A and B are shown apart, each in its own frame.
Chain A
Amino acid sequence: MAALAERQAVPLLDPRIPRLLQIRRVRRETRDTWTLDLIGSDAGEPFAPGQFAMLYAPGVGEVPISISGDPASPEVITHTVRAVGPTTRALCGLRAGDVLGWRGPYGHPWPLEAVPSGADVVIVAGGIGLAPLRPAVLRVLADRARFRRIALLYGARTPGELLFRRDLERWRSRLDTEVEITVDAGDAGWRGNVGVVTTLIPPAKFDPARAVALVCGPEVMMRFTVGDLRKRGLPPERIFLSLERNMHCGVGLCGRCQFGPRFICREGPVFSYAEVERHFTIREV
């Protein structure tokens, strides 16, 4: 497990210059989040679940956004973007047919290749954190026989802020996959769980002795999730997190995404908890 995925080879194209991709389709996920499907003559770069790309709105800026699409269909590059700043707002304002700049894929993926056959996979997502986990879910389900139990635990603020609702329905209807969804505050039509995502961990069906956990969400959510996974007996080496920091280059040169000795863009964004434990609870590190 320690030897994670291989370091990504440097693409032949100058990795620092965006290429132009066209938006084929835009789907509104929630009040402030959109999913963009991108195509282009030179799209089709294979990516691994958990990797990200730099999305460029010319004249506005460039931001790192995880890839949320299906790794089995790399001819369409999918990103799920939450409009929270000038660049993400510009990206979310784009329509089918518009063009944006793209470079990637960057970063280390979820270590799915290294997960031994017969392992349980526990996926814990909070809020927009489901976006970088969606390719992992799709990959795991496509290779379902390789794993024993699969549990997807997903928390969001409200039912209206759940991403990928059609996927969730589809995954939930599978008999071989446990999908638990919880919201902080339900609405009139909500009949599911109410409570934070960590409340789903104690009852989730997995064997800590053979489970691997993939976790993504806001840092505070991940901190408590790690705590509850460890209470269940999962060792730090088998808990994987996707971290977020400010990033301007995506390739280890701008220095902004440092997390202790690590560059999140280059050695992350996915780390085992064992790798980052030392710095994870230091404030403002």
Chain B
Amino acid sequence: MTVLLERVDLDILLAALRRRGYTPIGPTVRDNAITCAEIVSADTLPAGWVDEQEAGRYRLRQSGDPVLFGHTVGPVAWKRFLFPPAVRLWQVESGGGGPRAAGTPNPSVIRPDGDLPPRYALIGVRACDLAAIAIQDTVFLAQAHVDRAYESRRRGAFIVAVHCTRPGATCFCASTGTGPRAAAGFDLALTEVCRDGRHYFLVESGSSRGEELLPDVPLREATPDECELGEAAVAEAAERMGRSVDLAGLKDLLYRSYEHPRWDETAARCLACANCTMVCPTCFCTAAEERTDLEGRAEHVRRWDSCFTGSFSYIHGGSIRSSVKSRYRQWLVHKFAAWIDQFGTTGCVGCGRCITWCPAAIDITEEVRAIQLSEVAIHGDA
């Protein structure tokens, strides 16, 4: 049975989430982009706003339709909430006696960060971003050492997915097998239909937590026609996808292409600004920083870092990856090759953010294709 939630009842869903202790986070317009922030009511969702994305280009325009999720993904991925940009890992209290030799306080106690993790309801998570969350689950939760900061936020999160009905021009989730339909990993999933004066959501539950919430929301059974409209919209999104990558054989191809001339060409354009890694929903690399005050207290803080910075690979004497070429190569080879060996899947979910937000309009799908095509050229196509 497919059930249906009227647009006007969306606030009741948000209220049900709040009653359960979740802070709803969803898309909203800020600084001429779709970002993610706390949703006070369904009216703060970006009604009518659609994005136009291209390599190095992002514009919002108002379509005039009341559709709430007509946009695609913006620069802010959900990792901002589950894997925040800065997390305090521990604090140190100084044990009297003043600063020690070499300026280090003699610590008396080191305690883990004691802040209670927030509980978020993430509203409007797209299929690509669900796949990204699944990838970060593997990175942070399925290895020998579990990341506690991620774990506490992740366990407490409620996920309301939205199936994409309008792909962006930089999207390529159909080719990475991660969208546009959200297959799993959500508590609830919505298909928005806004047509002929009707505005409703088809609702699926994907977990017992999702199931448990449904009685609190006014739902009714959807008619076959109503279902059909939703299905058609998602299917159409897959067909209209702007970009694609061919993953077949890509891992081995990249592993044997470390010296490919394409890296030099791309490096000549790449600014090593790290935008791609900041907007990427799976990039997980961090730096540890020490923050101190004059009373001898210190905190150990972990913040997002990027393989595009010089400090990232610094060891005594210099950076291992001193050239931009080696940094771009590290990023791309990691995404499509090393990630598979490390975690069993690629590190790319086809969201297209790195393409849109690259100030030099470098397109990861084009880079992959260039290396693939040159291989065909070298080995012939006989």
Contacts and interface: CB of A to CB of B under 8 A. Distances in A.
- A and B: bona fide binding partners: yes
Interface in B119-165: 139-140, 143-145, 147-148
Contact of B326 (A251, A253, A283): A283
B321 A284 contact: yes
Contacts of A8: 144
Contact of B107 (A58, A251, A260): A58
B316 A84 contact: yes
B288 A248 contact: yes
Interface string A250-264: 011111101011010
A19 B109 CA distance: 8
- Residue picked from A57, A58, A82, A260, most chain B C-beta under 10 Å: A58
B168 to A, nearest CB: 27
A99 to B, nearest CB: 5
Interface in B288-303: 288, 290, 292, 296, 298, 300, 302
A138 to B, nearest CB: 26
B94 to A, nearest CB: 8
Contacts of B307: 255
A93 interface: yes
A93 B102 contact: yes
A285 interface: yes
Given A58-B105, A94-B102, A254 B112 contact: no
Interface in A34-64: 56-62
Contacts of B284: 253, 255
A285 B100 contact: no
A278 interface: yes
Interface residues of B, number: 61
A185 interface: no
Contacts of A266: 143-144
Given A17-B90, A60-B103, A244-B315, A253 B112 contact: no
A84 B108 CA distance: 26
A254 B286 contact: yes
Contact of B313 (A10, A85, A98, A246): A246
A256 B312 contact: yes
Nearest to A14: B112
Contact of B110 (A15, A17, A61, A94): A17
A253 B147 contact: yes
A119 interface: no
Interface string A261-284: 101001000000000001000111
A61 B289 CA distance: 7
Nearest to B144: A10
Nearest to B306: A255
B309 to A, nearest CB: 10
Interface in A1-35: 7-8, 10, 14-20
Contacts of A249: 286, 288, 302
A7 B144 contact: yes
A248 B286 contact: yes
Contacts of B144: 7-8, 10, 251-252, 266
A18 B300 CA distance: 11
A230 interface: no
A10 B330 contact: no
Given A58-B105, A248-B286, A19 B110 contact: yes
A204 interface: no
Contacts of A58: 92, 94, 104-105, 107, 110, 290, 298
B26 to A, nearest CB: 28
Contact of B300 (A62, A95, A246, A285): A62
Interface residues of A, number: 51
B101 A253 contact: no
Contacts of A278: 255
Contacts of A17: 89-90, 110-112
A16 B148 contact: yes
B322 interface: yes
Contacts of B337: 261
A254 to B, nearest CB: 5
A245 interface: yes
B106 interface: yes
A74 interface: no
Nearest to B334: A258
A90 B284 CA distance: 29
Contacts of A100: 104, 107
Interface string B64-83: 00000000000000000000
A278 B296 CA distance: 47
- Residue picked from B139, B305, B313, B315, most chain A C-beta under 10 Å: B315
B286 A57 contact: no
A254 B326 contact: no
Contacts of B333: 260
B370 interface: no
B306 to A, nearest CB: 10
Contacts of B139: 253
Interface in A98-123: 98-101
B271 interface: no
A60 B104 contact: yes
A85 B315 CA distance: 10
Interface string B217-251: 00000000000000000000000000000000000
15 contacts: A8-B144, A17-B89, A58-B105, A60-B103, A61-B290, A62-B288, A90-B103, A90-B104, A93-B102, A246-B312, A249-B286, A251-B144, A253-B147, A253-B286, A285-B258
Q: Which 9 A-B pairs have the closest CB atoms?
A: A93-B102, A255-B285, A284-B326, A261-B341, A251-B145, A261-B338, A59-B298, A248-B288, A84-B316
Given A15-B145, A101-B92, A266-B143, 8 more contacts: A17-B112, A59-B296, A60-B290, A245-B315, A254-B287, A258-B330, A260-B338, A283-B326
